[in-house]
Chain A
Amino acid sequence: MTEAVGWYPVAASHDLPVGHIYQTRLFDCPLAIWRASSGEVNIWQDRCPHRGVRFSIGTALGDELRCQYHAWRFASGSGSCTLIPAHRDRPPPRTIRATVYPVVEYGGLVWSSIVDGESHPPIFAHGVVLRAIPVFRPAAAVEGALTSLGLRDVKFFVQPIASDRSVIRGVAIDDASLLEYDALLERLRRELEAS
């Protein structure tokens, strides 16, 4: 799947309590997303550089993430390896680090960009973040369907998961119509997946 330039929402802020590691994908790239105790959000490739174990089965410990296989620790922010317990008597080689992606937390959503381009996510009026709706359809088809709804009090964004699937994320102006939007998106999902 071809990565597109720009920023995409990959999680909601409320998906990321401290201590949790959220797992998702962007353009088929597996991501481990976690918030350090400092509040900083990290978006890393979901793979320890040592032996390829998913970071998302590991543990978030304050400002470090610990891999589940050999308990190597990686620092929030830089992704640098801070501890290799098998050799705890010496500092880890500086070349060992998690693959780190850009992060912007904005409007109740967490945004990332795999291909450099625009400097920031789209600007929009803040409100209430909708429940994310996964759809087994390509992002372009989902975007088209959302545009044709013609809604004004809600802003939709599409996270391309893989070539055949997406996640709809949205922000409504207030919580007056949350249930209505949720039902509408569920209906849209069923229609798209049936077509």
Chain B
Amino acid sequence: MDLVLWNDWHVVADANTLDEHRPLRTALLGVPLRIARDKGGSISISKDDGGLVHGEVRHGFVWACLGLPAQPIIDIPELGGEAKCAVSAGAMAVYASAGRVIENFLDLAHLGYVHAGYLGAEPNTMVESYEVTGTKDGVRATRCKTYQPIRRQSKSQDFLGEYVHVEYNYIVERPYIACFEKSFADGHRFMVMYIFAQPVDEEHTVAHTLLILLDEIWDVVQMRAAQQLVFMQDKGILENQFPKRLPIGAGMEMPVRADRTSVAYRRWLADCGVTYGVIRSPMETAA
């Protein structure tokens, strides 16, 4: 097993959904887990043999580490005060590898097609060049410009019904966690979204999402519903990608300039030594 994954923290549940009368059954990196909450509210995570796994509740989610935690759970600075509202937008099971799920989250070019009318639309589907930096600490893609309908999501009527320019910044600092922040063209940052991809096994993922709104104008119920609909649109794509595991070796798929974030992400996974849920060379495809 990859130590980089084994000794890291992964979200395994939304803390609000745990029921003290009925433990939650799930799995992480192929290991079946039982998550229980007692009357006092404390949470325990155990394996089938009864052995306990490191568990913590943070940011509204239950986190598990199967090995020895090599680093703390990621910090989410916006939750420290800037957030006007932060909600889970749902835990979505998807028959795809965690790497495919993260790559889809980072993808700009599909917004106007898979999410037509929600996150983009023809004919404004060109992807302008953006900045990507890949270091040993992760991947950042900045100044990703796109054109989106902002509608039905605002309590005030100011933004209704119009397509506006928005800018995304993406950050990946753990193999199966990513976030983006979204700003208007004037630089005003209005939302941050996290995805915590729980690798259930190499080809199954639960995508936990955290939606953070930075202004009071948004209708959070509508935003949450829209986010769930958007993920369901992605699910149909993700479950039809083959191979299921993310190919991270060169030459197995054909990226173009719009895919520079994906290229950097795949390369970073390879540099981190990730082998779980990925394909490192074409020779592995048959396995």
Q: What is the interface of chain A, defined by CB distance below 8 A to chain B?
A: 30, 47, 49-54, 57, 68-71, 84-89, 92-93, 95-96
Summarize A's interface: helix, strand, loop or mixed: loop
Q: A89 — nearest CB in chain B belongs to which residue? A: B126
Question: Quick one: closest B residue to A45, CB to CB?
Answer: B242
Does any Cβ of A come within 8 Å of B241's Cβ?
yes
What is the distance, in angstroms, from A79's C-beta to the closest C-beta of chain B? 13
Which of B68-76, B107-115, B197-205 forms part of the interface with chain A? B107-115
Q: Which residues of B are interface residues toward A (Cβ below 8 A)?
A: 103, 108-110, 112-114, 122, 125-127, 236-237, 240-243, 247, 253-258
> Do the beta carbons of B254 and A49 come within 8 Å of each other?
yes
Q: Which residue of A lies closest to B125 (CB)?
A: A85
Residue of A nearest to B116 (CB): A71
Assess the B110–A52 pair: CB atoms within 8 A.
no
Whether A52 contacts B126 by the Cβ 8 Å rule is: no
Interface contact tally, CB-CB below 8 A: 68
Contact B240 A53 (CB under 8 A): yes
Cβ contact within 8 Å between A84 and B237: no
Whether the Cβ atoms of B114 and A68 lie closer than 8 Å is: yes
A92 to B242, CA, bound (A): 22
Residues of B within 8 A of A88 (CB): 125-126
Q: Known: A50-B253, A70-B110, A71-B113. Is A57-B240 also a contact (CB below 8 A)? A: yes
From B109, B122, B236, B254, A96 is in contact (CB under 8 Å) with B254
A95 to B253 Cα, complex, angstroms? 12
- Given A50-B253, A85-B109, A87-B257, A68 and B126 touching (CB < 8 A)? no
